[in-house]
A and B are shown apart, each in its own frame.
Chain A
Amino acid sequence: MVDLEQKFNELYEQNADSVFRMCLFKTSDREVALDLSQDAFTKVWAYLVAGNEVENLRAFLFTVTRNRIKDYYKKKKTFNFSRAGIENIEDLLPSENITSDQAELRELLELIKSLPEHHAELIQLRYVEGLAIEEMALIYDIRPNTLAVKIHRILGSLRENL
């Protein structure tokens, strides 16, 4: 149990911000993003404590997070998951003082917002959260090579559009 606690604590420390960001970029609501993040971690804990083994804990965490977001939108019944994304950029900008330029952050968020939702998700997981291609391949259930080529093409189209 001590090992499990440690494993879970590390998972939280390393991924709390990433999970939160994923939820925030989908919902544009900090409160909802916090709730969804809490649900995701708690579900993962419950699964582990019941004695289940997980091949890749990080991939599992993000899969659970995606599913929690989907459930949230199903219950909202306003629009479907594939159209979930950044609504109001101002809601996402941090209120705390930061050293980096707010204008640059705004520009990057506009860029993410301009992409189709599933492209934005891939770019976020790969280049913001730093997930490995193999981990993402597990989450989306496609071949790593296919995923890598797809991401490469999305980046290419981003460069063309700027």
Chain B
Amino acid sequence: MNKEKLKNLKLIQLSQEEKAILWMNIQSQKDQVSSDLYGFDSNYEKVGFITWLQRTGLALVPVIAIVFLVTTASASLPGQQLYGVKTGVNEPLQRLATFGSTNKIELEKKLLNKRVSEAKQLREMGLLSLERATGIKEQINDQAIKAANATSDDEVLIEEVDDNSDNNNEADSNKKIKKDLALAELRGTASGSIDAVTILAGESIDEIIDADEDDRQLSEKTKSGLLDPYVQDEETVKENNSKDPAVSPEVIKAKIQAEAKVTTTKAAITQNRSDDKNNLQLELEIAQPKSAVDAKKVSELTKKKLDSATKIVEKDIDTIQESELLDAVEEASAAITITESIFER
């Protein structure tokens, strides 16, 4: 079969009339900004754009105002009208335009941090009720789960090809290490963000501080929902065991340990910086004494996480498991997230 013949399939195309109508429809939607930005269904769902505009009362809003609305949605907060545009449209489109697992995970971390800074802004305005805080925490939880699953191998249409090249196996190992570390950081950012919102809402964090070392600070829902990179199905394990590893497990562990030490050091520096700056309690501007943030308790919580991470990374490499090192990265990332969210302006 000549692959050139496949080009003949290009004969299946838009007719002149279809092309003209398609362009006309796109032009009319361009002028009024994509109907999808406002979350309504396109033609095949039988809800017309004009009908939607009339229903929402936006029919008379000038085009330029609509464009303004779209671009200012990024500054909106939970509870505000444009917040749905921000999280339901702007952010998904940002995700689509981001390529590469590690870049996607970095974007998700930024978006999780955004949730915390939104909570902080609401708190400064005196609008962070316990109910709203719970809503934000659930959103963080869902976002993190979706992000971890989106970067999993479930949706990969292409199986990795075993081309027996040492260089490619090493590159694959490095890519896997990078992704595992990024996912551990994502889990840490998610749990740290949830704790930060708990703190900002003035809820007690004694339970979190007193929790056992083995009890990760994630809710049960988050723990079960977030992708566990250590769990592999039988087929994958068999396949991995049958391959001759070009990179030994010891080397992989050493690389992860090195990265874990970097993250833990960063957490320690962040902790020291915040301890120096903040010996006083943060207080709300409005009179809600119960919601005051106890800087000492926050410091105690982050120090606990940091100590847990440090203890792990300093263990002898022969006795430690890869999964423990990734747990250390998670703990250190959570500590960084909490410290930066609460104390840094």
Q: Do A and B come from one complex?
A: yes
Which residues of A are at the interface with B, using a C-beta cutoff of 8 A? 8, 12, 16-17, 20-21, 24, 30-32, 34-39, 41-43, 45-47, 49-52, 54-56, 59-60, 63-64, 67, 72, 75, 82, 92-96, 98, 100, 104-105, 108-109, 111-112, 118, 121-124, 127-128, 130, 138, 140-143, 145-147, 149-150, 153, 155, 158-159, 162
18 intermolecular pairs with C-beta atoms under 8 Å apart: A17-B19, A34-B14, A35-B43, A38-B25, A42-B26, A46-B33, A75-B41, A95-B15, A96-B15, A121-B157, A128-B6, A128-B7, A128-B9, A140-B157, A141-B156, A149-B161, A155-B3, A159-B1
Whether B320 sits at the interface, judged by CB under 8 Å, is no
Within 8 A of A (CB), among B235-283: none
B8 touches A60 (CB 8 A): no
Chain B's closest residue to A27 (CB) is B44
* A108 and B8 in contact, given A20-B13, A67-B96 (Cβ under 8 angstroms): yes
> A37–B10 contact, CB under 8 A?
no
Give CA–CA (A34, B45) in the complex, Å.
13
The interface bits of chain B over 103-136 (1 if a CB of A lies within 8 angstroms of the residue's CB, else 0) are 0100000000000000000000000000000000
Let me know if B289 is at the binding interface, CB within 8 A.
no
Q: Which B residues from 44 to 86 make CB contacts under 8 A with A?
A: 44-45, 67, 70-71
Cβ A146 vs Cβ B158 within 8 A = yes
Contact B158 A140, beta carbon cutoff 8 Å: yes
What separation, in Å, do the CA atoms of A141 and B7 have in the docked complex?
25
A residues within 8 A CB of B25?
Answer: 38
Interface flag for B163 (CB, 8 Å): yes
A46→B70 contact, CB < 8 A: yes
Question: Cβ of B22 and Cβ of A38 under 8 Å apart?
Answer: yes
Size class of the contact patch on chain B = 35 or more
CB-based contact A16/B37 at 8 Å:
no
| Contact A17 B160, beta carbon cutoff 8 Å | no
Given known pairs A35-B44, A47-B97, A142-B156, the reply for A17 and B9 (CB within 8 Å) is no
Once A140-B157, A140-B158 are accepted as A-B contacts, the answer to whether A39 and B36 lie under 8 Å apart by CB is yes
Whether the pair A100, B8 counts as a contact (CB closer than 8 A) is: yes
Minimum C-beta distance from B189 to chain A (A): 21
Bound CA–CA A143/B8 (angstroms): 28
Does the CB pair B14–A20 fall under 8 Å? yes
**Do A21 and B99 contact each other (CB < 8 Å), given the known contacts A12-B26, A41-B26, A149-B163?**
no
Q: How far is the CA of A73 from the CA of B171 in the complex (A)?
A: 36
